[in-house]
Chains A and B, each alone.
Chain A
Amino acid sequence: MSWLSRLFRRGTADADLDDEIRFHLDQEVQLRVDRGEPRDHARHGARRDFGNVIVVMEATRQMWGWTPMALIDDLKHAYRRLRSRPAMMLTAASMLALGVGLTTGMFTVIDALMLRPAPFRDPDRLANLMMLTPNGGRTDVSPAVLEAWRANSAFAAAEGATTETSLIDTSTGPRVAASARVSPGMFAMLGTPPIRGRGFDPTDGRPGTDDRVLLSEDVWRSVFGADPNLVGQRVTIDGASMLVIGLMPAGFRFPEWNTVLWKPIDFSAPPPTLTGEPPRPQAYVRVASGVPIDDALRVATVAARRVDSSIPATAQATSQPLAGVALDPYYRRAIPLLGGGVGLVFLVLCANVGSLLLARLTARQQEFRMCSALGASRARLLREALLEHGLLGVGSVGLGVALAWGLVSLARAFLPTAFLVSTLHPIDLDPRALVVAVAAGLVATLAAGVLPAWMGTRPDRTSSLTSAARVGAESRGTRTLTRALLVAELALACTLLVGATLLVRSFINLASVDLGLHAEGVLTAWIALPAKGFPDRPSRVAITAALEDNIRHLPGVDNIALSTGLPPRGGTTYFSDHWRGDGPDARPLKMTVSGYGVGPDFFELYGIPLLAGRTFQAGDGPDDVIVGERLAARLWPGQNPVGRTFHFDNDRLGGHVVGLAREIRFPSLETSRDHPEFYQPFELGGGNVDMNIRCRDRCPDEAVVRRQVLATVPGANIARLGLLSDIYREELARPRGAAALGSTFALIAVLAAAGGLFSVLTYAVGRRRREFGIRTALGASPAQIRRLVFRDGAGVAALGVGVGILASAALARVISSVEYGVTGFDPVTWGLVLGVLAATTVLASWRPAHRAMRVDPVALLREE
């Protein structure tokens, strides 16, 4: 054996000891031979006098104390022992990995959505500023307000942005891209320079200098094949030739998560290619250093009121963070809820693994007793158990990170855009997530590994080696701990199940709301006519008629209706405290109502039935209106509205009802979005045209429609074009995602709890075989034995569910405040949850109970 191989095989310390003892024996033999003993005899004598070589070596090794070599040995040992029960260890490791993976994945999403500040320079001083009353209000501001804020010394910078979509002409066909118009100083304010070319000049975005564009590195790669000469070239965007002046880094997302194209605009002097109405930007400011945000807001309020008389007196400047979900109350509450759900699943899995490990160690009591008898200390046993569990923990963190990576990729690919739009960060596993994974693994190992190791290796002094196998019951400590873990598991599972059921019911409620119209197979578009070329109303009416006609003749188009306002949000929103019908006792009502201006085919196109009166005729004016059901019921409860009149806005505005139409519903988590409505005949006002296009079989490609619009009206701005059903679907995306996630969590928790119950009962039955045998021998019927086991399971389950119900009641109240049409005390939900848990308990107890029934006292006797 060469020195090298010895090193690798056993480590130097062991080899040295080996050598040392061999040398001793050789010397002794030599001594005896010199003394005249025959060599054979000498060798035996030397061995005899030395004593047991192995015992000496072991005793010597113990003198070394705990060395790295010993750690490696222990690790090897632990690994071998883990491998000796592969099924059990795989179960434990995969449950821990599931816990770690889910936690890490969820953290990654929450981190990107909520926790991280906007990825810009000094993000704490950046804000999206708006003038809001306590009732809400417009989030955009007039260009004059933006100018006033820019001039104010409380702000280091104030810039504006509007979003739209654009069509990029490429060699392979047109591409739709999310785009934005930003004031030239935006990128400097955010602190993100272009990676190639230059940013906007201060004079860009005025008439003559508005044909510049910045592209995202993403677009440069995916659309232009990373053409190194793209900067400085002209590309066709929305039918106009634009000069590419620079590229922004791929990770730069602003103002929305998918914006990839930026055009300059001077909001105070917008280029005439835009519509007649001056665009109102979202205002973004950088608060000057040293100025407290609250002071800046007060100053901003005063400055804005001074230049814009249309701002309500109660409006205050309000700041919103640039990134994150602060804008959306649903996210603000749903995401912590889902995060908490992951936490609960994590705990369930830890508890489960904990009871699994405890059961396993208890089954090894015999082995531990043997080791103790041979002189192993408690510390040594504990160290081994902890090492095993630690190894398990390390393995599951590895697996968990892999799982989290998979989950996050999945989330990126399949999460509805509504989930992604709120983040300016890419959703990706990053060092922060890895730290969380390791922390979760550590917590899991501590929670699931340490207590069982402590309990499991506790020396059992009462029972000697021989009687160990015959102990008739579980030890009390183990019993208490396993039952407590189970109760916790079931309580958590119950809570998760209630939460998930409520989320699913909310989703079903939302999805099954009658929309009041046929939304499938309808494309809607929102188009702004350029002011240039269409200066007066007749020219706009003419081009609109041409547009309508051209679209109508596209292949695949069945019908088209122009309108002001698109379902389901409506066009003009009227808010007034003075809605009044013409009844003698009519009192003013406070309502928000959507007004639609609709073309002749609108009702037919959407299949909205007229319930009374007539539809619009030629010659109807803006005062002739058709009211929706809900508005009619509010203004004239229980009466026929046809022929009546109503007023609002201090009687300045009003209408004469010619018909009653079915209500259009807008099922949304934010019920405040669903307003009553009325209709007026469509009349082209400014440059905005909304189109409702009913498709024949398949809707024409979006790009084809865009082409047609731009071919008819060069320079038109298509602010939105897409399937109407997508809008409804988008509204459903968040509750669907929440319901899917919640159900997954609940499923995992229930399965884990069932598995835990099953394994604990099976184990308990195994330990109590002697007791069952004696009972049977004394005349207990199998049914009685079965009842015994069921009672054990049911007791634990009842306790768990009892605790769970208390926790669920609190959770249910929170959920019902965010979700649609569910109350915390929904009998269907509670019935379902209790039913599922009861069935789970029975199923999990079934096999252990039958095993207990089949204990044969005779066989048992023979075993002993």
Chain B
Amino acid sequence: MLILRTLQWGPQHGHGIGLAIRAGTEAVLQIDHGSLYPALHRLEKQGWLAAEWKVTENKQRAKYYRLTTSGKRQLAAERSRWRQIVGAIGRIMDPA
């Protein structure tokens, strides 16, 4: 979900996605940068992401991922489920 969310603002390559996720969660989620890639490839296979190869300014091939329509739908669905869970947990933890 984090990946899908990151790509909401436009196509990005793997490193960029990682940076964005780290920027938001730096201290909390300490994961290997590499573990991003299996997830990216899985999402691509499921059809939620599409990828294309571009050449960067310093002539390197880079793979850019972008959200597909079904990916956007998935993001919306996951987000609403996330809200429900958060809401439910919140009510249990801090009963008003």
Chain A interface (Cβ < 8 Å from any Cβ of B): 16-17, 19-21, 23-24, 26-28, 31, 46, 49-53, 55-57, 59-60, 62-65
What are the 6 A-B residue pairs with the smallest beta carbon separation, nearest first? A51-B32, A56-B34, A51-B34, A27-B15, A59-B38, A63-B41
A20 to B18, CA, bound (A): 13
Q: Is the CB of B13 within 8 A of A23?
A: yes
- Known: A19-B61, A28-B33, A63-B42; 12 extra A-B contacts, CB below 8 A, are A21-B37, A23-B14, A23-B15, A23-B61, A51-B33, A51-B34, A52-B32, A52-B34, A53-B34, A55-B34, A62-B38, A64-B45
User: Which residue of the partner chain B has the closest CB to A61?
Assistant: B41
Would you give the shortest CB distance from A294 to chain B, in whole angstroms?
67
Would you give the shortest CB distance from A375 to chain B, in whole angstroms?
14
User: Which residue of the partner chain A has the closest CB to B17?
Assistant: A24
Q: Which residues of B lie under 8 Å from residue A60 when comparing CB positions?
A: 37-38, 40-41
- Whether a CB of chain A sits under 8 angstroms from the CB of B89 is no
Q: Is the CB of B41 within 8 A of A64?
A: yes
Question: Which one, B16, B32, B53, B61, contacts A50 given CB within 8 A?
Answer: B32
Q: Which residues of A lie under 8 Å from residue B37 when comparing CB positions?
A: 17, 20-21, 24, 56-57, 59-60
A716 to B40, CA, bound (A): 95
Question: Which residues between 18 and 58 of chain B lie within 8 Å of chain A, taking CB atoms?
Answer: 18-19, 32-35, 37-38, 40-42, 45, 53
Q: Is the CB of B60 within 8 A of A49?
A: no
Question: Which one, A20, A50, A63, contacts B33 given CB within 8 A?
Answer: A50
Q: Is the CB of B42 within 8 A of A24?
A: no
Q: Is the CB of B32 within 8 A of A63?
A: no
Question: Which one, A24, A52, A64, contacts B15 given CB within 8 A?
Answer: A24
Q: Is the CB of B62 within 8 A of A23?
A: yes
User: A23-B13, A63-B45 are known contacts. Are A16 and B33 too (CB-CB below 8 A)?
Assistant: no
Q: Is the CB of B60 within 8 A of A26?
A: yes
B41, B53, B62: which has the most chain A beta carbons within 10 Å?
B41
Question: Which one, A31, A56, A65, contacts B45 given CB within 8 A?
Answer: A65
Q: Which residues of B lie under 8 Å from residue A46 when comparing CB positions?
A: 33
Q: Is the CB of A24 within 8 A of B45?
A: no
User: Which residue of the partner chain A has the closest CB to B63?
Assistant: A20
Would you give the shortest CB distance from A11 to chain B, in whole angstroms?
15
Q: Which residues of B lie under 8 Å from residue A52 when comparing CB positions?
A: 32, 34
Q: Which residues of A lie under 8 Å from residue B33 when comparing CB positions?
A: 24, 28, 46, 49-51
A16, A51, A64: which has the most chain B beta carbons within 10 Å?
A51
A55 to B34, CA, bound (A): 9
Q: Which residues of A lie under 8 Å from residue B62 when comparing CB positions?
A: 20, 23
Q: Which residues of B lie under 8 Å from residue A64 when comparing CB positions?
A: 41, 45
A52 to B37, CA, bound (A): 12
Q: Which residues of B lie under 8 Å from residue A17 when comparing CB positions?
A: 37
User: Which residue of the partner chain B has the closest CB to A46?
Assistant: B33
Q: Which residues of B lie under 8 Å from residue A21 when comparing CB positions?
A: 34, 37
A55 to B38, CA, bound (A): 10
Would you give the shortest CB distance from A237 to chain B, in whole angstroms?
79
